[in-house]
Amino acid sequence: MAEQDTAAAVKIDAAAPAAAGAAAGAPAHSKKSKKGKLQVSLKTPKGTKDWSDTDMVIREAIFSTLSALFKKHGGQTIDTPVFELREILASKYGEDSKLIYNLEDQGGELTSLRYDLTVPFARFVAMNNIQNIKRYHIAKVYRRDQPAMTKGRMREFYQCDFDVAGQYETMVPDAEMLDIAVEGLTSLGIHDFKIKLNHRKILDGIFKVAGVADEDVRRISSAVDKLDKSPWDAVRAEMIDEKGQTPETADKIGEYVKLNGSLRDVYNKLKEDAVISGNELAAQGLTEIEDLMTYTEAFGIDNYISFDLSLARGLDYYTGLIYEIVTAASAAPANAAELKKKAQHGNKDKNPDDASEYVGVGSIAAGGRYDNLVNMFAQASGKKKAAQIPCVGISFGVERIFSIIKQRIAAQAADVKPIYTQVYVMAFGGGKDWTGYLPERMKVAKQLWDAGIETEYVYKAKANPRKQFEAAEKAGAPLAVILGKEEYADGKLRIKRLGPEFADDDGELVDADKFIDTVREKLAQVHEDGVNEVTRLIRGL
């Protein structure tokens, strides 16, 4: 094909439809089902779902963004079994232990699916006698909770964790965790969030001065932790009616757990309170908060932090600083109780197994300091001189973050292509001797693959130009490498930008042995500042 004929052929790009039509399915089998044939419900288990197409593109962008962040902060990755010995997980999660999935006895071991990535990490550190490590872990965890699928509250979900284990200056790694939280969420285009922060020693000190017995502290922590979902009156009633506290004790706790504000403002109020600052545990916590403020100011993240004494984090293993990150979508609807009542009374239009209608997204990331967990495992395994290995970490909830991003970009989500193809290799020609250049297209595609460039071509010997452009548009490829019959025979390739705005652009004719550099240059123009379309969309650029 002459050069002008190839240029005419590329004009078809402008006339290509928005997407190629789907191929017709195979005809259905007409054989009748035999008696006794296995029948199944084609559905996923409650609280789980399949992920595909554009959803997976967005999720993978979340994973890659967070893993790059963790590596930037010096993290090394590990992996642990999806199930652990049941005794490893037992008594680590307080009242939430009822949500652990226990497995049947298989071969003499009692095991359970992991509830989080923190306890397996502590077991890993103790088992391998690790003295210090920065690790990140991205993996699925399992909780037998009431699902709210559209809010990202599921029974099977991914956590992205970053933890630091080892002896360091007080509050230094803790402050970096908060910075990682800010970096991670802002790099995903989430800016309207608040880091709710508290300190277990301060909270335990408040419980002590209020008259809570040592053995009841964790149970009262679990009650206080419900303040983000329930009003104070309900939490107070639980303390008195279910957990045996006096009204005076509950009211004293209430005076403090309603306090929230900036780090410095709440710190000053507590420091000036003689009762709290006079308690040994609370005083230790306040000293650590004083150190923390210096570091968060150095990182420039104070405006994201709220010192909130209602935050308790019900998990038993936390010993110091605790935090969770919330957004406007985290809270339940104002009429949640009414919506829940309707759902429980069998609204036919709603799924009774899904709480999406009456709950919020909840926290989208959380973490804290757990200084005793590694040592607990080491001692329990018989190590008499086990070293104390303090730990602190942050965990991002991918499904909850995904639900927020998906809602924010809903209008543009249709533009996200589930394929990563950057270049489509095409061939144009004609005449009785025209073979379609299929082996030649394969050779060019191989060169692009070897150069690390995502590439496709039509799996047909003689594909007409329109079909090739339709395939390229369906794949979302921004660039075409075109083999014209006579141009390629002369050692030339045509490189063309795709899309309606480039309909009148015939592309650039280049030497076939030097085309990779030109492809890279044109892709650099497509991906402004080295950021691809999906990342740009997620970040709101």
Domain end residue (candidates: 275, 304, 327) = 327
In a domain, 506, yes or no: yes
108 and 188, same domain (yes or no): yes
pLDDT digits (tens, 9 = 90+) for 85-136: 999 998 888 778 899 999 988 788 999 999 999 999 999 999 999 999 999 9
Q: What is the pLDDT of residues 471-490, one digit of tens each?
A: 999 888 999 999 999 999 99
* 368 part of a folded domain: yes
Residues flagged as binding site: 116-118, 143, 159, 163, 313, 317-318
Residue 535 lies in a domain: no
Please answer whether residues 392 and 118 qualify as being in contact, where contact means their C-beta atoms are separated by less than 8 angstroms. Answer: no
The CA distance from 237 to 242, in Å, is: 8
Is residue 17 one of the residues assigned to a domain?
Answer: yes
CATH of the domain at 250: 3.30.930.10
The length of the chain is 541
The per-residue pLDDT for range 394-443, each reduced to its tens digit, is 999 999 999 888 888 776 766 676 778 999 999 999 999 999 999 999 99
> Are both 316 and 344 inside the same structural domain?
no
Question: What per-residue confidence (pLDDT) applies to 379?
Answer: 85
The CATH number covering residue 430 comes to 3.40.50.800
The SS3 assignment for 492 reads strand
Chain segment 42-84, per-residue pLDDT in tens: 898 898 899 888 888 889 999 999 999 999 999 999 999 999 9
- 216 plus 323 within the same structural domain: yes
Q: List the single range of 266-275, 399-408, 460-469 with lowest mean pLDDT.
A: 399-408
- Residue 137 in this model has a pLDDT that exceeds 70: yes
User: Is 396 within a domain?
Assistant: yes
pLDDT of residue 103: 92
Residue 430 lies in a domain: yes
Look up the domain containing 321 and give its range: 198-327
- Of the pLDDT bands very low, low, confident and very high (cuts 50, 70, 90), residue 154 is confident
Average pLDDT over residues 247-262: 93
Residue-level pLDDT at 529: 60
393 and 504: one domain? no
pTM as predicted: 0.82
What gap in Å lies between CA 511 and CA 98, rounded to an integer?
Answer: 67
Average confidence (pLDDT) over 309-327: 89
Please indicate, yes or no, if residue 537 is contained in any of the structural domains.
no
Domain finish residue from 303, 327, 351: 327
Please give the pLDDT value at position 7: 55
Annotated binding-site residue numbers for L-histidine: 116-118, 143, 159, 163, 313, 317-318
Domain-terminating residue out of 277, 294, 327: 327
Tokens encoding 141: 């965890």
pLDDT of residue 493: 95
Give the whole-number percent of the chain exceeding pLDDT 90.
60
Residue 318 and residue 217 in one domain: yes
Q: How many domains does the chain have?
A: 4
432 and 382 in a single domain? The answer is no
Is residue 283 in some structural domain? yes
Whether residues 286 and 345 share a domain: the answer is: no
Sheet-wide strand order for 193-199: 76-77, 133-142, 156-165, 391-397, 365-369, 321-327, 193-199, 305-308, 260-261
Same domain, 502 and 456: yes
* Same structural domain, 371 and 438: no
Tell whether the model's pLDDT for residue 279 goes beyond 50.
Answer: yes
Specify whether 65 is located in the same domain as 176.
yes
Same domain, 25 and 94: no
pLDDT, average across residues 154-171: 95
Q: For the residues 148-168, what does the mean pLDDT come to?
A: 89
* Mean pLDDT, the chain, whole residue set: 86
For the residues 279-303, what does the mean pLDDT come to?
A: 96
Residues 252 and 347 in one domain: no
